[in-house]
């Protein structure tokens, strides 16, 4: 877990008025410290390995990049004794035994480096995520209602306090990808666009009025942060996606 998450837990503890909520946040802090000291996962769900690969256009890859990434996931989960959570056929439900294949998103960028971001995604929070094709006339109020309703419907299932990733615009699949990319931002880091940064603040305030609280047992802190990313949209469309992340929001990166 990153320092940004630990700092957010401490801030949430100060803001929480529920005694039960405070106790839960204290336990989460203790749990993360034990995980760090003992080099063990802070949650039994060690997630689907979601990998973002930013490939510099001047880089030449020898061999198959996707095979190499999957081999890294295979070694990491087997040698690290992490739970294997992936079934190869979504209907037959037979476990692959090594947490592969990963979900890999590749982006071509300027330069001569390869940046790899690994973001394991737990099933409980992923299951509570949602997407909706709004009518353009529904505007920002429609966006707010959908995001808040999604968090409200999720209740305790995504193990709050959550991090809320929101993608607005693009196409059906682009909005979903934006919402997941939003979760990679350092916790609480605002969008660079002033109107979107304000939207993030407003959504966080409204979500924390829901009273769901830490682990769904009531309280002021339901979400630690709301991150919104946007993209151009068709004149007839206003896609909105919400990707929830549990309190074990994990991501690491390396640049080669």
Domain residue spans of the chain: 48-121, 124-248
Please give the CATH topology (third level) of the domain spanning 124-248: 60s Ribosomal Protein L30; Chain: A; (3.30.1330)
**Token digits for 131?**
């997407």
pTM for this model (two decimals): 0.95
Q: Is residue 87 within 8 Å of residue 93, measured between CB atoms?
A: yes
Helices (H) and strands (E) in the chain, counts: 7, 8
In this structure, the number of other CB atoms found within 10 A of the CB of residue 48 comes to 18
The Cα 231–Cα 55 span in angstroms is 21
The H or E element containing residue 56 is: strand 48-56
Question: 18: how many CB neighbours lie within 10 A of its CB?
Answer: 17
Q: List per-residue pLDDT tens for the chain, 256 residues long.
A: 678 888 888 999 999 999 999 999 999 999 988 988 998 888 999 999 999 999 999 999 999 999 999 999 999 999 999 999 999 999 999 999 999 999 999 999 999 999 999 999 999 999 999 999 999 999 999 999 999 999 999 999 999 999 999 999 999 999 999 999 999 999 889 999 999 999 999 999 999 999 999 999 999 999 999 999 999 999 999 999 999 999 888 889 999 9
């Amino acid at each position: 877990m990153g320092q940004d998450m630990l700092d957010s837990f401490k801030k949430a503890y100060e803001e929480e008025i529920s005694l039960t909520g405070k106790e839960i946040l204290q336990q989460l802090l203790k749990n993360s410290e034990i995980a760090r000291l003992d080099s063990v996962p802070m949650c039994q769900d060690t997630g689907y390995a979601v990998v973002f690969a930013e490939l510099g256009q001047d880089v030449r890859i020898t061999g198959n990049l996707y095979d190499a990434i999957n081999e890294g996931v295979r070694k990491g989960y087997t040698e690290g004794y992490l739970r294997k959570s992936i079934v190869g056929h979504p209907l037959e439900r037979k476990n692959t035994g090594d947490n592969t294949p990963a979900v890999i998103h590749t982006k071509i960028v300027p330069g001569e480096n390869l940046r790899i971001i690994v973001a394991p995604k737990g099933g409980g929070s992923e299951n509570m995520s949602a997407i909706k094709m709004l009518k353009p006339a529904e505007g920002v109020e429609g966006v707010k209602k959908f995001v808040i309703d999604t968090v409200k419907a999720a209740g305790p299932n995504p193990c709050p306090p959550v991090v809320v990733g929101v993608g607005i615009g693009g196409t059906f699949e682009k909005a979903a990808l934006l919402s997941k990319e939003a979760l990679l931002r350092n916790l609480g880091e605002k969008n660079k666009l002033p109107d979107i940064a304000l939207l993030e603040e407003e959504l966080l305030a409204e979500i924390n009025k829901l009273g769901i609280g830490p682990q769904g047992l009531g309280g002021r802190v339901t979400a630690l942060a709301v991150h919104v990313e946007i993209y151009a949209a068709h004149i007839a469309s206003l896609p909105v996606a919400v990707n929830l992340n549990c309190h074990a929001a994990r991501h690491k990166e390396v640049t080669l």
